[in-house]
Amino acid sequence: MIGIIDYGMGNLRSVVMGFARVGAEARIISTPREVATAGKLVLPGVGAFADAIANLRQRGLDAPIVQAIERGRPFLGICLGLQLLFDVSYEDGEHTGLGVLPGKVVRFNFDDLPAASRPSIPHMGWNQVEYTGRVALLDGVPSGSYVYFVHSYYVAPMTDSVTQLTTDYGRRFVSGVARDNLLATQFHPEKSQAVGLRILENFAKM
């Protein structure tokens, strides 16, 4: 069973419907026990990092999520669900994340570019995602495919220990990470039409 984690923030229904469109059973879960027993986990999210990590901790969901990833269960993070995996976010202050992956979450800054050529913030709409090497969850998704983004912050991993998906928006940034059982994307697969549905289908088949 695919468990979509409800911690009070996220586009849960659209993710459920995305899985339904590829014939996969997914349901919303919200307790530590459900997280601990689900066969696969999805951590979606929209909104502010500080509120999200506070909600996870208040509901006792942080430790079961980390343990599930460490034990090799298939895990998909979406948008804020990617950012929460890192050590720290600098969105409206400094906030400690789940610490699954070393690195930080920072805001786009284009002050070094000429005013006329600065991209708008947030980064919103369709853009390409590129990667090298084999990523199981991206089987059938060619590098350079277009996916849907809505965000003002992005992740900056400290090491190359995870495969990095990248996107060009004013400068190249990390738009996703992949490692063994884990894939987490800054873009929204559930809003990325055929490409996104293929990612959800690949995840459901893991």
* Alpha carbon distance 190, 200 (integer Å): 8
Q: Considering the candidates 95, 123, 151, 188, report the single residue annotated as catalytic.
A: 188
Quote the tokens at residue 68. Answer: 């599930």
Cα–Cα distances in angstroms (integers) from residue 123 to residues 50, 90, 187, 191, in the given order: 20, 17, 10, 15
Q: Considering the candidates 79, 91, 123, 151, report the single residue annotated as catalytic.
A: 79
130 and 145 in contact (C-beta within 8 Å)? no
Q: Considering the candidates 34, 95, 151, 190, report the single residue annotated as catalytic.
A: 190
Q: What is the DSSP string of 73-128?
A: --EEEETHHHHTTEEEE-TTS-EE---SEEEEEEE---TTS-GGGPPPSSEEEEEE
150 and 187 in contact (C-beta within 8 Å)? no
Side-chain half-sphere of 124: how many Cα atoms within 13 Å? 3
- Label the pairing between strands 145-151 and 123-129: antiparallel
79 is known as an active-site residue? yes
* Alpha carbon distance 135, 127 (integer Å): 19
Backbone angles phi, psi at 187, to 5 degrees: -85, 170
Which positions are annotated as active-site residues? 79, 188, 190
